[in-house]
Amino acid sequence: MTIKIGDTIPDVTFTTMTENGPEPVGKDFFAGKTVALFAVPGAFTPTCSAKHLPGFIDKTAALREKGVDAIACTSVNDVFVMGAWAKSAGAGDVLMLADGNAAFADAVGLTMDGAKYGMGTRSQRYSMLIEDGVVKQLNVEAPGEFKVSTADYLLGQL
Protein backbone atom coordinates (compact mmCIF):
# COMPACT_ATOMS: atom_id res chain seq x y z
CA MET A 1 0.00 0.00 0.00
CA THR A 2 1.34 3.44 -0.93
CA ILE A 3 1.72 6.03 1.80
CA LYS A 4 -0.71 8.94 1.55
CA ILE A 5 -1.29 12.37 2.98
CA GLY A 6 -2.16 12.08 6.67
CA ASP A 7 -0.15 8.89 7.20
CA THR A 8 2.72 8.66 9.64
CA ILE A 9 6.03 7.76 8.08
CA PRO A 10 7.25 4.23 8.82
CA ASP A 11 9.82 3.50 11.49
CA VAL A 12 12.70 2.66 9.15
CA THR A 13 16.35 3.50 9.72
CA PHE A 14 18.35 5.27 7.03
CA THR A 15 22.12 5.72 7.07
CA THR A 16 23.98 8.97 6.48
CA MET A 17 27.68 9.65 6.08
CA THR A 18 29.21 11.85 8.76
CA GLU A 19 32.74 12.96 9.59
CA ASN A 20 32.87 9.90 11.87
CA GLY A 21 31.64 7.49 9.20
CA PRO A 22 28.19 5.96 8.62
CA GLU A 23 25.55 6.86 11.21
CA PRO A 24 21.93 5.68 11.55
CA VAL A 25 19.07 8.15 11.10
CA GLY A 26 15.77 6.97 12.50
CA LYS A 27 12.21 8.20 12.66
CA ASP A 28 13.16 10.54 15.52
CA PHE A 29 14.87 12.78 12.94
CA PHE A 30 11.39 13.80 11.74
CA ALA A 31 9.95 14.41 15.23
CA GLY A 32 8.97 18.01 15.92
CA LYS A 33 10.22 19.22 12.54
CA THR A 34 8.95 20.11 9.11
CA VAL A 35 11.05 18.13 6.65
CA ALA A 36 11.15 18.33 2.87
CA LEU A 37 12.07 14.79 1.82
CA PHE A 38 12.69 13.93 -1.80
CA ALA A 39 13.57 10.61 -3.36
CA VAL A 40 15.52 9.82 -6.47
CA PRO A 41 16.03 6.55 -8.34
CA GLY A 42 19.81 6.77 -8.08
CA ALA A 43 22.73 8.92 -7.05
CA PHE A 44 24.82 10.19 -9.96
CA THR A 45 22.07 9.39 -12.48
CA PRO A 46 21.33 12.11 -15.07
CA THR A 47 18.11 13.79 -13.92
CA CYS A 48 18.90 13.22 -10.25
CA SER A 49 22.34 14.86 -10.52
CA ALA A 50 21.59 17.55 -13.07
CA LYS A 51 18.18 18.72 -11.82
CA HIS A 52 16.61 17.10 -8.76
CA LEU A 53 19.34 17.45 -6.11
CA PRO A 54 20.61 20.80 -7.45
CA GLY A 55 17.07 22.20 -7.33
CA PHE A 56 16.77 21.47 -3.62
CA ILE A 57 20.29 22.76 -2.95
CA ASP A 58 19.44 26.02 -4.76
CA LYS A 59 16.09 26.40 -2.97
CA THR A 60 17.31 25.61 0.56
CA ALA A 61 16.94 29.20 1.78
CA ALA A 62 13.50 29.63 0.18
CA LEU A 63 12.27 26.39 1.74
CA ARG A 64 13.56 27.47 5.15
CA GLU A 65 11.79 30.83 4.77
CA LYS A 66 8.54 28.89 4.25
CA GLY A 67 9.02 26.94 7.50
CA VAL A 68 10.97 23.88 6.41
CA ASP A 69 13.43 22.90 9.16
CA ALA A 70 15.35 20.25 7.24
CA ILE A 71 15.78 19.01 3.68
CA ALA A 72 16.67 15.39 3.03
CA CYS A 73 17.31 13.29 -0.07
CA THR A 74 16.86 9.53 -0.09
CA SER A 75 17.87 6.96 -2.63
CA VAL A 76 18.32 3.21 -2.79
CA ASN A 77 22.10 3.52 -2.74
CA ASP A 78 24.64 2.64 -0.08
CA VAL A 79 25.84 5.25 2.39
CA PHE A 80 29.25 5.53 0.71
CA VAL A 81 27.71 6.38 -2.66
CA MET A 82 25.37 8.89 -1.03
CA GLY A 83 28.30 10.45 0.83
CA ALA A 84 30.35 10.73 -2.36
CA TRP A 85 27.37 12.22 -4.20
CA ALA A 86 26.86 14.79 -1.45
CA LYS A 87 30.50 15.89 -1.74
CA SER A 88 30.45 15.89 -5.54
CA ALA A 89 27.24 17.92 -5.70
CA GLY A 90 28.06 20.30 -2.85
CA ALA A 91 24.88 19.19 -1.09
CA GLY A 92 25.45 21.56 1.83
CA ASP A 93 22.49 21.40 4.20
CA VAL A 94 20.68 18.67 2.26
CA LEU A 95 20.93 15.54 4.39
CA MET A 96 21.65 12.48 2.27
CA LEU A 97 19.77 9.43 3.54
CA ALA A 98 20.90 6.08 2.17
CA ASP A 99 18.12 3.51 1.85
CA GLY A 100 20.54 0.80 0.76
CA ASN A 101 18.13 -2.13 1.01
CA ALA A 102 15.06 -0.17 -0.17
CA ALA A 103 13.48 -0.62 3.27
CA PHE A 104 11.94 2.87 3.32
CA ALA A 105 10.96 2.83 -0.36
CA ASP A 106 9.26 -0.51 0.19
CA ALA A 107 7.60 0.55 3.46
CA VAL A 108 6.03 3.61 1.79
CA GLY A 109 5.03 1.61 -1.28
CA LEU A 110 7.11 3.69 -3.67
CA THR A 111 9.53 1.24 -5.22
CA MET A 112 10.18 0.80 -8.92
CA ASP A 113 11.82 -1.92 -10.94
CA GLY A 114 15.02 -0.59 -12.46
CA ALA A 115 16.25 -4.02 -13.62
CA LYS A 116 15.93 -2.92 -17.25
CA TYR A 117 18.78 -0.49 -16.51
CA GLY A 118 20.77 -2.88 -14.30
CA MET A 119 19.64 -1.04 -11.17
CA GLY A 120 17.31 -3.56 -9.50
CA THR A 121 14.74 -2.29 -7.01
CA ARG A 122 14.86 1.48 -6.63
CA SER A 123 12.76 4.29 -5.24
CA GLN A 124 10.31 6.12 -7.41
CA ARG A 125 10.95 9.84 -7.82
CA TYR A 126 8.87 11.91 -5.40
CA SER A 127 8.86 14.73 -2.89
CA MET A 128 7.13 14.71 0.45
CA LEU A 129 6.51 17.35 3.10
CA ILE A 130 6.54 15.78 6.55
CA GLU A 131 5.42 17.60 9.70
CA ASP A 132 6.28 15.89 12.97
CA GLY A 133 6.39 12.53 11.22
CA VAL A 134 3.09 12.98 9.35
CA VAL A 135 2.87 13.33 5.56
CA LYS A 136 1.34 16.70 4.63
CA GLN A 137 2.19 16.72 0.90
CA LEU A 138 3.10 13.87 -1.42
CA ASN A 139 4.15 14.40 -5.03
CA VAL A 140 4.91 11.19 -6.92
CA GLU A 141 6.20 11.45 -10.47
CA ALA A 142 4.79 9.45 -13.34
CA PRO A 143 7.45 7.15 -14.86
CA GLY A 144 10.06 9.16 -16.75
CA GLU A 145 8.65 12.51 -15.58
CA PHE A 146 10.26 15.31 -13.58
CA LYS A 147 7.55 17.85 -12.77
CA VAL A 148 5.82 17.43 -9.41
CA SER A 149 8.76 16.35 -7.24
CA THR A 150 10.84 19.48 -7.80
CA ALA A 151 11.82 21.97 -5.13
CA ASP A 152 9.85 24.66 -6.97
CA TYR A 153 6.68 22.55 -6.99
CA LEU A 154 6.99 21.83 -3.27
CA LEU A 155 7.63 25.52 -2.59
CA GLY A 156 4.38 26.31 -4.38
CA GLN A 157 2.55 24.03 -1.94
CA LEU A 158 3.84 25.85 1.13
User: Catalytic positions, please?
Assistant: 48
Q: Are 82 and 97 in contact (CB under 8 A)?
A: yes
Query: What counts of helices (H) and strands (E) characterise the chain?
Result: 6, 9
**C-alpha neighbours within 13 Å on the C-beta side of residue 32:** 1
Interacting residues of 43 by C-beta distance below 8 A, sequence separation 6+:
49, 75, 77, 81, 82, 84, 85
Single-letter amino acid, residue 14: F
